Amino acid sequence: MKTGFSRLFFAFFPMAAMFASAAMAASTVDLPKSFVEHHRGQFTQGGLIVMQLRPHTKVFLNGAPIDVLDNQAVIGFGRDAPLQQQLKFVDAAAKTQTAELEVNLRPRDYKIQRIEGLPQKMVTPPAEALEKIRRQGKIKRAARAESVRQTWFAEPFVWPVEGRISGVYGSQRFYNGEPRRPHFGIDIAAPRKTPVRAPASGRVSLAETDMYFEGGLIFIDHGLSVTSVFMHLDSIHVAVGDVVQQGDVIGRVGSTGRSTGPHLDWRMYWQQQRVDPALLVPPMKAKASTASSGKKP
Ligand SMILES: [Zn+2]
């Protein structure tokens, strides 16, 4: 019996390793060197790609023109983005020169997460809250309707807060047992009032202290329709129109809105696509120190 198990284990292990490397290989995409100097990001569902282009390059994603500024462009892929995407590059100076390619995104596997112990009004809002939720939806849409012409998104992102990851992008959520929309953020557990820092430079496009689901909420516009979102904040230290630098304290961790404990829910948009913030940042430095500190907030 014992030998049978270990044989099974050894038989499966190399296969798992093969799958892992195949998946990694699929996410590296060669873009035509005559148009793209270099690019950063992963060609996967939830991925955000930043491209440094050669002069005069125009970019089209699935036929739609993509905004270019200072030879930089950014594209993103949502949680359930079709795996086949078409990229086209055109030399605006010599229009006969074009490159078209089919890009295959690496599919993601999303988790199921069950959140229990929420007040029922946060799972199914009462009728009297619906008007407030609708009004706040308008405020959020308006804040992202326009984006600044800046290339702050091209700066490598840093973690806004470090701590235990308590929720990941894309997971299918059940609140008190009821299925709800997938989770589009990454949840980072941290003590209440921990400073939240701008992960990249940008312009504050929304700063609200009392949103129904999000509680204290900040949007930072990083340019060309890349926006980051920070939820459940205890306090907010910026105002709409402020330009922040990477690392500036914008607010403090809290548990306001639909939340069961202090954490930062960090989300990212590119246009209407929700992308995965975790793909933009390096591994967390303080992870081990947070776990070993033994201190409770
Ligand atoms: Zn969350």
pLDDT in tens, 120-155: 888 889 999 999 999 999 999 999 999 999 999 999
Q: For residue 23, what is the domain's CATH number?
A: 2.60.40
- Residue 66 tokens, joined: 């993509």
Last residue within a domain, chosen from 52, 78, 104: 104
The stretch 177-196 carries a mean pLDDT of 94
Look at the chain and report how many structural domains it folds into.
2
Same domain? 250 vs 138: yes
Which residues share a beta bridge with 173?
113
Q: How far is the CA of 91 from the centre of ligand 1 (A)?
A: 42
Q: How far is the CA of 187 from the centre of ligand 1 (A)?
A: 5
Find the domain containing 68 and state its range: 2-104
Q: For residue 185, what is the domain's CATH number?
A: 2.70.70.10
Q: How far is the CA of 215 from the centre of ligand 1 (A)?
A: 12
Q: How far is the CA of 131 from the centre of ligand 1 (A)?
A: 23
Same domain? 8 vs 132: no
pLDDT tens digits for range 63-99: 999 999 999 999 999 999 999 999 999 999 887 789 9
Q: How far is the CA of 77 from the centre of ligand 1 (A)?
A: 20
Which residues share a beta bridge with 174?
114, 179
pLDDT tens digits for range 207-238: 999 999 999 999 999 999 999 999 999 999 99
